[in-house]
Amino acid sequence: MLSEPSTAPRRTAHRERIDALCWLLLALGGLALAALAVQLDARLGTASAPFLGRYKIRIGLGSMLAPVVAAGTLWTAAASRFTRWRWHEIQLFGYTVGLLWAIALALVDGWSGLTKALGSPEEYLGDVAQVGDSPRTYLRHFTADAAYHSVASRGHPPGPVLFLWALQRIGVDDHIVLGFLITAVSVLTIPLVLAAVRDSVGEVAARRYLPVLVLAPYAIWTAVSLDGLVAVLGAAAIVSGLRASRRRVRGWAATGWAVLAGLLIGVAALFSYSAPWLGLSLVCVYFARRRASLNVLSGVGALLPVLGAQLLGFGWADGLVAAETDYAARVAPYRSVLWWSAISVVVLLLAAGPPLFASARKVRNTAMWPFLVGAGAAVVFSIAAGLARGGVEHAWLPFFPWLTVAAVAPERPAGDPPPAPLLLAGLGALVAVIIEGVLVTPW
């Protein structure tokens, strides 16, 4: 007599459909709220809420590339090819397809999709000339001269401008090449996050997380934002912290990895004032693995770049105060904190996509919860402090990947990881294609 087939796969598929439907209802409700805010002429600073920019439908040859990349990725995952590949092949595939996905989305706007952010007078590249031949002088006067900086530089430490200055010094000044290079570096986040997931909950879950990570809607902003570099530094820091806290890693090896994790967080802090929030994930990892003493080593490592910048003339705390002062004068009076607090949640839902709902629902069932703590705390603080008033779609890039990791968590603690959530990943890819096809951003 034939045994009755297991109902587990059907239950998993049913649960995934429910997650997709719940996310869709939340997203549609959020979009309706954003539309209402526009109709009521609320102080938003944009007519394209929940995003900054304007709406214009664009369909061309470039519009066909992203759906092809998404379909190919989903087909490969559905065919279970990931189960037969070696781990380094998984990471290489993830990086390659992630890069294709980000560039394909950008090319909906043609080559300007890779260059318009660089050419904007509100972005960092316009400040590179101020560095001249003396980056130390630029650092020394960075805070005092904040009023003369571009809008992007006013809200960030000097790291992005100095990074672009260094690239120009070595001859990388073509905007298309520069845009491609920034995107290629930013997409390194994918293999790093995969490595973190593997180290935390095993290789099976990491392989199944790949489609979610590769086809994430927030890839729209990966090709146009230097915050992608912060995401790479933060991901590398978390991977280093995980290696430092492995059970068999002790002595000088643990010390080296822990200090490196801190150094990377410190360097990231020179690119973004919000980057230190990822350090909270490190703290949680160390406590979860009962290696709390590593916090001291990572803390010392994080201070070194910040103190180094202080010795060269840039005070990180002074820069943060200057950025907040500028924000309070330039943005806060013209964008309603109440409306934007709600609308920023809508941006989060759309940018992270349907896997966000599944991840939030199952966060208690996974050892990856430290990742969500750091990223989630950053988002919650940003909203609670009234700092999320437009533009979070790129400002939160360092945190988006960590907010969806629990999408591949088991339905109950210590259970088996579910299959790759291809429905959620595919729906997220569709969201990205639609947003890129109708939204024209200032970046």
What is the predicted pLDDT for the residue at 61? 67
What is the predicted pLDDT for the residue at 8? 66
What is the predicted pLDDT for the residue at 1? 38
Cis status, amide bond into 217, omega within 30 of 0: no
**Token pair for 129:** 């000339």
Rounded Cα gap, residues 26 and 34, in angstroms: 12
Rounded Cα gap, residues 94 and 79, in angstroms: 16
What is the predicted pLDDT for the residue at 56? 81
Q: How many helices (H) and strands (E) does the chain have?
A: 23, 2
In the numeric block, the tokens 């972005």 are attached to 123
CA distances 296 to 258, 292, 373, 378, 420, Å, are: 9, 8, 20, 22, 37
What is the predicted pLDDT for the residue at 2? 41
**Token pair for 133:** 């031949």
| Per-residue buried b or exposed e for 258-280, using 16+ beta carbons within 10 Å of the residue's own CB | bbbbbbbbbbbbbbbbbbbbbbb
| Contact (CB, 8 A) for 228 and 189 | yes
Q: How many CB atoms lie within 10 A of CB 239?
A: 22
pLDDT digits (tens, 9 = 90+) for 265-312: 999 999 999 999 999 999 999 999 999 999 999 999 999 999 999 999
pTM for the full model?
Answer: 0.93
What is the predicted pLDDT for the residue at 243? 96
Q: Which regions in the chain score pLDDT beneath 70?
A: 1-8, 61, 442-443
